Structure 1
Amino acid sequence: MQQNRILNYIKNVLKNKPSDWVKLTTHRLDIYNESLAKTQFLEYFENLFSDNNYEVSALENLPTAYDYIRLGHPLSCVLEWTIAKLNNLDAESVISFDSKTVPVLSILRKNLLDGKATTIYYSEVIPEAFKTDVFKTVYGYNFEVKKVESISDISKNASTSVFISNSNTIKDFNLNINIDILINSYGNYGSILLINGKENKDFISEIQHVRRRETVAMTPLNCLEVLEAVSSSETIEERQINIQTEKQSVLESLKKITYTSAEPLVASSGLSMQYAIMMGLIDDAQHNYPNKPIRFLVPPNCYGGTNDQARRVAACLDNVEILDLPVDGENDMVKSVDNVLEQVAKIDGVPFIIAEIPTNPRVEVPNLDDLKTALKKKRTTKNGETAIDSVFILDQTFCPNVNFLGENKVLSEVRALSYSSGSKFPSGGLCTAGYCVVNNKAEALQNKIAKHLGLCDNEATVQQYQILAKQLPSMLQRIDNAYKYTREFVNFIKEKLPEAKINFVSEELASHGFTPSVFSLDLPTKGETPEEKENYKRELNHKLINLMITEIPDESKYCVSYGQLKGCYWTIPATSTQGTTKEGDKDYIARVALSGNMDLEKHKAVFQQFVNSI
């Protein structure tokens, strides 16, 4: 009886679901409480279920499930809640993935750091992408793989027992008491992981963090189709959809935009792409420079996902370390690159540089000629031998229109690659897919990156390719439109609040193609002591943002997003994008991102209100 009630309720929810649940990467940011992400959504959803309320208005007023679709979204939460209800589990014990192999890797990572053994069982076929030798040698994981006739043949042992199933049923999971974690794979829909027993609860946050940083949740469209199958008591059948035309369109657009000739790679998210880049480069270094120390040079205040993921990778491998690369504010990227590359040369290490240009959040561009010289410089080890040349990994999300890798450009003469988050300008906020391109000198590395993108089953989905094929052709024009609005808004702020410090590109840099539509605002402050001044400024940040999102709720949002098709996005990096950054490296300033489709005059008027109030 209870099962029928659940299934009937979900059927009605799917009929009345808000369109944003499927179409956007963010939902109801105006009622988003970061500390209660997902738990608040499910708490309210549970109340609706208790009241059998599936009205459109009630569903539309549910709070944001997560601030970003990569970690989860309304439909992934509903799917996980439904499966948990049907299997008498807590909702937090069910975690959906777009990938079929990363769920396994998330368990292996935790057990590696905990020094615990893992045994992976399967009765049919293990995911094709799961390559035991690579996950042991390149990723550093320790585990056994065993085939059994059925799940009932597994007995309890000291290691963590993981069972991989390929069942096409979604409603009832065969949970053997001797299994710690069960993973069901569903072809190109993704996979669903179930954590069995209270003694395994400590896996939850670690698995969630892997989903947040190295892959994505099952996508909204796939969740919707799986939920429809669940509510109709149908099995999940593998989809056969030919998207070769859309995929080829995406690849050709990317080559044209980035002035590259090698085949681009497209991943399920920007961080999925970065993970493939990091593991591909480590694989290459292990092969070409065995036993040499590997060093990733990373700005300590860069985007939190980049910073966190890099350190998470290094934590798993003894010969991989992170070196801080100070790049903005009082620091100069060129000097930092030169200094840190000298350090790596002295230990005969393999240097990989990850950097954003313009920098985030201070939107600075280094002297590109000097950067080129620093990267091309021949260095020697302490024994006088030629040092290994670096690979420059450029996060180009802020300015994906700038030609860095083409012939005779700043990064054309060194091994370099560029990657961008597709949730920004490439898709305009309609999907999370990210992409990577390489210059001619780094073309050999693309094969290794492609290998690890495949191993992690993190290639862009069918729908993501379809969205990018539609959106990429208009990207350069959207960037141009958004920059013009941003420049106008920046000039307005300078006029109305001249004592504020604005971090934005100069007119000269813009004439060379650096036309971001994001700037950071260091508001004026007052007080007797440094502490009083800092506290006053932080309060002023919140006052400004709250005024904007309250007065213009249809357009101004409190979100880290950027490059959307419409509206304006506000955030404080220290409490959002730099969430996992060391406290001393955080930026307590306001960051503003504009689109080319918004009521700029209204935003000016509200900003004037703010100025008048202080």
Structure 2
Amino acid sequence: MTHQNIKEFIAQVVNNMPKDWVNLTTHRLDIYNESLAKSEFLTQFEALYLKNNATEEALANLPTAYDYIRLGHPLSCVLEWILSKFNNLHPDEVISFSSVTMPVLAVLRKNLLENKNTNIYYTSSKYNLIDFDTLKKVYGYNFTTNLVQDESEIKASADSNIFISDKEEFREFNLNKNVDFFVNTYTNLGSVLLVNGDQNNAYTSEIQHVRRRESVAMTPLNSLLALNKFLGKTHQNKITTNSNSKNDVQEIIKEITGTKTTPLVGSSGLSIQYAIMMGLVDDAKQNHKNKAIKFIVPPNCYGGTNDQARRVAALDPNIEVVDLPVDGENDMVSSIDRILDEIAKEDAVPYIIAEIPTNPRVEVPNLDDLKSVLTKKRKTNSGEVAIDALFILDQTFCPNYQFLGEGEILSTCRSISYASGSKFPSGGKCTAGYCVSNDKAKSVMQKIEHHLTLCDNEATKQQYNILVEQLPSMISRISDAYKNTREFVTFIETVLPNAKINFVTKELAEQGFTPSVFSLDLPTKGNSAAEKEAYKRELNLKLINLMITEIPNESKFCVSYGQLKGCYWTIPATSTQGTTKEGDKDYIVRASLSPNLDLELHKKVFSDFVNSL
């Protein structure tokens, strides 16, 4: 396997690759084995290389690599594969990021948990601009920083040595044996991290997990630009950009949300959520010194939110995640009221993260009662006025509802809302997410922006371009998708009346809650609870497999929501709730419909499923 052979093969790949590799957040959802996501893709990709087969058909038949671009995608995997071959590493030991600082933060996080110090070396004084002080005071990371001429100055150490380079090349690097982690940054593209030495193998999965939860991989377009740079096609490394895209996106978001403060846009929904969490931790440490910080989170909410909250708490003994029961027999409002009373007595700092409507049961609390609970004055055990809660709303399911605007339901209590961009904002074309605040919470937006910048997790130029194209049609797409969903739900109620459907009522829809997602608790049978549960889980898969087999061009097995076309099916317990505690998972079917699909065909196939029972 020579370097020249690799170059020639990659040139063919770039010419023949499926358009979806660049234009969508997911590729080949029908061939996706999560536990083997990267290895399965690269095993088959390398087999094509050995056969010198880079035809369009062969590449299109490769399985999905990772998911949602946060953890990776076909082009980032190809880029990592090239660098692994050039540097005699395993592909898992090469990890790309859209951010230039998150790979460093990933190593720092692992070392904090291992109680190990880190030495950071870099050759450019521009890295002095990184707010290292905040990384120590707010994140708790332990490290030294050193400006050197080159990597030859780095000495062996019992600590971890990180070397940051900014050579604009994709090639064989000089992996000094004294360097544990080699980070190479690229202007406007992101970075790659190379894990050097067998003694550091345990870091790879931890670094990848940071990329999945707190950042994203190098984006598809930037990965393509990197591959062109590798091939020497520098003339193709220009992105046509609208210089006003960022400002235009911010103005559109303000109009959609009814807010006045300047929105912040991150590389993904979880990137913006991480900036929110760390910004609030920073604010609490500054304004409520030494007081406990409590993140109040539903135990069955989106798994990324749940996991990230616990990951933040794991790094600081002063931060705790408090479970917020919201679904089924539990009412969000009464749960918040009870928990805030308890936290007030402790004189702690309360931050609430919740989804409205809830996931996956699609429930909306009584908003007037929610407003009352969030604005209620509470006292500490010593009789002092307790710190008021800040409500962080994930409104990905209803990004059109104006919660925070003047006179709206969450305008009188400190509130921030955010949305995942891979859903309705971009229609599945990019992952960029955004957040806004009401006037009561605008003072913390500066902190959130600082941490978004520190993590280098702002949306890319291309992501801004996509959002400025897609956001103007979002409201009408939400309306059309809701109409399809309501019609499908009504049909299911008719043909399978003994199924339990979780969807917003028509009364809530008239108030503006028009999600296009519903969950389905299929009827079951058996002689015991275990038999009934097993039968239902088998039935879930039977339904999904039938839909995606009979309607392969539209129905997909994926957690997507808000896409431009098609219908998406998932089981939350094995997808969005992947990191949720087992007892809090929902083994039900969740479906999300787009504004553009063959609804009559979906009805027919669902009828076939019912007739087979």
Using the size of structure 1 for normalisation, the TM-score is: 0.98
Number of residue pairs matched by the alignment: 613
Partner of 1:205: 205
Task: Name the % identity.
Answer: 64
Deviates more, 1:144-153 or 1:158-167: 144-153
Is the contact between residue 168 and residue 235 of structure 1 (CA under 8 Å) also seen in structure 2?
no
In structure 2, distance between residues paired with 1:410 and 1:402:
10
Residues 352-392 of structure 1 show CA distances to partners (whole Å, capped at 9, x for unaligned) of 00000000000000000000000010000000100000100
Partner of 1:318: 317
Supply the AA of the counterpart residue of 2:354: A
Partner of 1:97: 97
Partner of 1:81: 81
Partner of 1:458: 457
Is the contact between residue 262 and residue 438 of structure 1 (CA under 8 Å) also seen in structure 2?
yes
Deviates more, 1:111-120 or 1:470-479: 111-120
Matches within 5 A, 1:318-357: 318-357=317-356
Partner of 2:308: 309
CA deviation after TM superposition for structure 1 residue 407, in Å? 1.5
- SS of residue matched to 2:244: helix
Is the contact between residue 68 and residue 431 of structure 2 (CA under 8 Å) also seen in structure 1?
no
Residues 17-49 of structure 1 show CA distances to partners (whole Å, capped at 9, x for unaligned) of 110000000000111111210110000000000
Residues 237-283 of structure 1 show CA distances to partners (whole Å, capped at 9, x for unaligned) of 8x797643111111111000000011000000000000000000111
In structure 1, distance between residues paired with 2:285 and 2:150:
38
Partner of 1:252: 251
Residues 579-602 of structure 1 show CA distances to partners (whole Å, capped at 9, x for unaligned) of 000000000000000001000000
Deviates more, 1:140-149 or 1:348-357: 140-149
Partner of 2:526: 527
Residues 180-233 of structure 1 show CA distances to partners (whole Å, capped at 9, x for unaligned) of 110001121100000011111100000000000000000000000111111228
Supply the AA of the counterpart residue of 1:2: T
Deviates more, 1:62-71 or 1:217-226: 62-71
Residues 135-179 of structure 1 show CA distances to partners (whole Å, capped at 9, x for unaligned) of 000011111111222101111110011100011122121210111
In structure 2, distance between residues paired with 1:36 and 1:609:
32
- 1:54 and 2:49 are equivalent in the alignment: no
In structure 2, distance between residues paired with 1:519 and 1:126:
49
Partner of 2:394: 395
Supply the AA of the counterpart residue of 2:227: L
Is the contact between residue 126 and residue 164 of structure 1 (CA under 8 Å) also seen in structure 2?
no
In structure 2, distance between residues paired with 1:556 and 1:284:
44
Is the contact between residue 228 and residue 236 of structure 2 (CA under 8 Å) also seen in structure 1?
no
- SS of residue matched to 2:9: helix
Supply the AA of the counterpart residue of 1:194: L
Residues 474-503 of structure 1 show CA distances to partners (whole Å, capped at 9, x for unaligned) of 000000000000000000000000000000
In structure 2, distance between residues paired with 1:243 and 1:116:
45
- SS of residue matched to 2:580: coil
CA deviation after TM superposition for structure 1 residue 554, in Å? 0.3
Partner of 1:299: 298
In structure 1, distance between residues paired with 2:76 and 2:585:
31
Is the contact between residue 256 and residue 400 of structure 2 (CA under 8 Å) also seen in structure 1?
yes
- 1:489 and 2:488 are equivalent in the alignment: yes
Partner of 1:139: 139
Deviates more, 1:127-136 or 1:595-604: 127-136
Supply the AA of the counterpart residue of 2:225: E
Partner of 1:416: 415
In structure 1, distance between residues paired with 2:355 and 2:266:
19
CA deviation after TM superposition for structure 1 residue 128, in Å? 6.0
Partner of 1:290: 289
In structure 1, distance between residues paired with 2:118 and 2:451:
22
- SS of residue matched to 2:158: coil
Partner of 1:33: 33
In structure 1, distance between residues paired with 2:112 and 2:561:
36
- 1:509 and 2:531 are equivalent in the alignment: no
In structure 2, distance between residues paired with 1:20 and 1:236:
19
- SS of residue matched to 2:125: coil
Q: For residues 484 and 540 of structure 1, do their structure 2 counterparts lie closer, same or farther at Cα, with a shift above 3 Å needed?
A: same
Q: Where in structure 2 are there 5+ consecutive unaligned residues?
A: none
In structure 2, distance between residues paired with 1:263 and 1:113:
35
- 1:499 and 2:525 are equivalent in the alignment: no
In structure 1, distance between residues paired with 2:3 and 2:235:
17
Partner of 1:177: 177
Partner of 1:592: 591
In structure 2, distance between residues paired with 1:132 and 1:250:
30
CA deviation after TM superposition for structure 1 residue 235, in Å? 11
Residues 277-335 of structure 1 show CA distances to partners (whole Å, capped at 9, x for unaligned) of 00001111111111111000000000000000000000001211100000111100000
Matches within 5 A, 1:254-293: 254-293=253-292
Q: Cα RMSD (Å) of the superposition? A: 1.3
CA deviation after TM superposition for structure 1 residue 130, in Å? 2.2
CA deviation after TM superposition for structure 1 residue 8, in Å? 0.8
In structure 1, distance between residues paired with 2:402 and 2:210:
32
In structure 1, distance between residues paired with 2:81 and 2:129:
28
Supply the AA of the counterpart residue of 1:99: S
Partner of 2:612: 613
In structure 2, distance between residues paired with 1:507 and 1:604:
21
Partner of 1:219: 219
In structure 1, distance between residues paired with 2:584 and 2:141:
31
- 1:440 and 2:439 are equivalent in the alignment: yes
Using the size of structure 2 for normalisation, the TM-score is: 0.99
Partner of 1:583: 582
In structure 2, distance between residues paired with 1:352 and 1:192:
34
Partner of 2:4: 4
In structure 2, distance between residues paired with 1:554 and 1:304:
28
Q: For residues 599 and 240 of structure 1, do their structure 2 counterparts lie closer, same or farther at Cα, with a shift above 3 Å needed?
A: closer
- SS of residue matched to 1:476: helix
Residues 395-432 of structure 1 show CA distances to partners (whole Å, capped at 9, x for unaligned) of 00000011100112110000001000011000000000
Deviates more, 1:433-442 or 1:67-76: 67-76
In structure 2, distance between residues paired with 1:548 and 1:435:
33
- SS of residue matched to 1:225: helix
In structure 2, distance between residues paired with 1:127 and 1:100:
10
Residues 67-105 of structure 1 show CA distances to partners (whole Å, capped at 9, x for unaligned) of 321110000000000111111111111000000111000
In structure 2, distance between residues paired with 1:330 and 1:495:
26
Supply the AA of the counterpart residue of 1:315: A
Is the contact between residue 129 and residue 455 of structure 1 (CA under 8 Å) also seen in structure 2?
no
Q: For residues 61 and 588 of structure 1, do their structure 2 counterparts lie closer, same or farther at Cα, with a shift above 3 Å needed?
A: same
Supply the AA of the counterpart residue of 1:193: L
- SS of residue matched to 1:337: helix
Q: For residues 233 and 202 of structure 1, do their structure 2 counterparts lie closer, same or farther at Cα, with a shift above 3 Å needed?
A: farther
Supply the AA of the counterpart residue of 1:575: T
In structure 2, distance between residues paired with 1:368 and 1:533:
36
Supply the AA of the counterpart residue of 1:7: K
- SS of residue matched to 1:216: coil
In structure 2, distance between residues paired with 1:553 and 1:74:
21
Partner of 1:124: 124
Supply the AA of the counterpart residue of 2:245: E
Partner of 2:63: 63
Is the contact between residue 504 and residue 514 of structure 2 (CA under 8 Å) also seen in structure 1?
yes
- SS of residue matched to 1:412: coil
Partner of 1:154: 154
Is the contact between residue 186 and residue 236 of structure 1 (CA under 8 Å) also seen in structure 2?
no
Is the contact between residue 273 and residue 436 of structure 1 (CA under 8 Å) also seen in structure 2?
yes
